[in-house]
Structure 1
Amino acid sequence: MRWISTVTQYLIPTLCMVCENPQAKIVCHACRKRIAINRSQIGPSCAVCALPIKPHQSICTQCEKERPAFDRVVYLDLYQEPLRHPLHLLKYQKRLACASGFALLWNTFHQNALNSCDADVLIPVPLSQAKLAARGFNQAWEIAKQLDLPNSVKRAPNLVICQRANAAQASLSRANRTASMQERFILKADAVTVIRNRHILIVDDVLTTGSTIHSLATTLKQSGAKRVTAWTMFRTPPWRA
């Protein structure tokens, strides 16, 4: 029963993934308020890739020059504290509870995006077999499966295969990242019928240059996807890319 779950939260508190103080929820009220303030200070962003733009623009210069394969990016916060550390805990120390925390934050701050979501299929950005074996889980899927999406959105974590492991994207230049993504993703044999003429929602943890989701969106559109939207927990500012 729901009341049992509520009582248990307060009798057996957890640690806030941000400040690590004992709390009833994985992200405490004070930290959610701090994150809300950070989000309120983010200026206008490109309607396609979500990079910062000037007030008179709607699309950044790069997207005007060459549109990426994806149609839109929505993100939770810039790649900064206080949330960068919990992401590292999730990815590198296997703190799976942090995935619940990121889903909680998305469900809190992106209620409109969730309620108005018209995607047909959700696909987390897949890891290579080597990275998946080493980590033991796909952090994008651990977050994605806890998002409060409409029941009409089919969650499909196994439609796409990442063919090979690449060097860590953070260690590569923008040009090298783009080159390393070429033909990285392939669809499973039965995936085409699922994505053809559909709106696909990609979920990832960090978007830096956009090379990964561009490559995945390219694969999806070449196989008949009508539209591709990307939801990512973090957007890396261009001065850090």
Structure 2
Amino acid sequence: MSLRNSRPFLAWRAFAAAWRWSPGSACQICATWQRDAVCGTCRQRFRHAGHRCRCCAVSLVGLNEVCGRCILRPPAFDHTLTAFDYAYPWDGLITRFKFSGACELAGPLADLMSDALWTAAEQTGFEPPDVLLPVPLSAARQRARGYNQAWELARRVGPALEVPVQARWVERVLDTPHQTGLPRAERLLNLRGAFAVTAAGRAGLTGRRVAILDDVMTTGATLDALAATVRRAGATAVQSWVLARTVSDDAAP
């Protein structure tokens, strides 16, 4: 009999599950040994709370609710919620998760995102969406990376916030070049015609309030293009949910 099938091991596992206990791990930021992947001290210390544009979530100074760019050129989405700024230490964790195959960070990052979105939703009082759509990757990009980071977050955040997740209602039909370092105008040009709604999506999006989830918002071009696509398919309102928002449009991941 293997250790994992032994009676003492099975009893220990049942006890741990019942009490939601885990043997602990080193905090991914400060390396303190504790229960969670990111300790409570680091969550509080690096939460980057502040006043943000209601529309695109960029940090604002003053009492304005919407930034100047969103006033001049309103995006196709109505509202953005973010967990934190794309800055230390979150930028390093997201880079590992997105580009270095560290898919094990999806759970801890999704937990942080869920907590932050719950708080933001309570503060703003807006209505929850009917459905959550992860930003799709092209088939070639997903094969190269091995997973879609937006889906890995969405499939955990959706259930935590009690919002159904649909990964097959939209697809990326153009394998656009990497957006890193490009200004917003070039990003928008790259993304023209990049997204399409599937047959299931056309049936499901009509009259729905939608949230689109991505890992990082830089200029908002990707979310803007996808939001416009789902609006043309009949969505009545579109929110953007992002793990992190860059401090400025030049701080591209």
**Count of paired positions:** 234
Please tell me whether the aligned partners of residues 17 and 101 of structure 1 are also in contact (alpha carbons under 8 angstroms).
no
- 1:23 maps to what in 2? 34
CA displacement 1:48-68 (0-9 Å, x = unmatched): 112233424221111111211
- 1:193 maps to what in 2? 203
Report the alpha carbon displacement of residue 90 of structure 1 after superposing the two structures with TM: 1.0
Aligned equivalents of 1:197, 1:131: Cα separation in 2: 31
Gaps of 5+ in 1: none
Aligned equivalents of 2:234, 2:132: Cα separation in 1: 15
Please tell me whether the aligned partners of residues 168 and 200 of structure 2 are also in contact (alpha carbons under 8 angstroms).
no
1:129 paired to 2:129: no
SS for the counterpart of 2:176 is coil
- 1:214 maps to what in 2? 224
Is the alpha carbon distance of 1:87 and 1:224 closer, same or farther for their aligned partners in structure 2, counting shifts above 3 Å?
same
CA displacement 1:18-60 (0-9 Å, x = unmatched): 2344331111122112223x32xx3x22111122334242211
Aligned equivalents of 1:93, 1:62: Cα separation in 2: 33
Residue 94 of structure 1 aligns with an amino acid whose one-letter code is G
Gaps of 5+ in 2: 1-12
SS for the counterpart of 1:74 is strand
CA displacement 1:151-170 (0-9 Å, x = unmatched): xx221012111112222211
Report the alpha carbon displacement of residue 70 of structure 1 after superposing the two structures with TM: 0.5
Aligned equivalents of 2:210, 2:14: Cα separation in 1: 33
Aligned equivalents of 1:102, 1:207: Cα separation in 2: 15
Residue 156 of structure 1 aligns with an amino acid whose one-letter code is Q
1:48 paired to 2:55: yes
- 1:5 maps to what in 2? 17
43, 48, 53: which is aligned to 1:32?
43
| Cα RMSD, aligned residues only | 2.1
- 1:85 maps to what in 2? 92
SS for the counterpart of 1:191 is helix
Please tell me whether the aligned partners of residues 13 and 25 of structure 1 are also in contact (alpha carbons under 8 angstroms).
yes
Aligned equivalents of 2:20, 2:59: Cα separation in 1: 43
- 2:7 maps to what in 1? none
Report the alpha carbon displacement of residue 6 of structure 1 after superposing the two structures with TM: 6.7
Report the alpha carbon displacement of residue 73 of structure 1 after superposing the two structures with TM: 0.7
SS for the counterpart of 1:186 is strand
SS for the counterpart of 1:155 is coil
Percent identity between matched residues is 30
**TM-score, normalising length: structure 2:** 0.85
- 1:57 maps to what in 2? 64
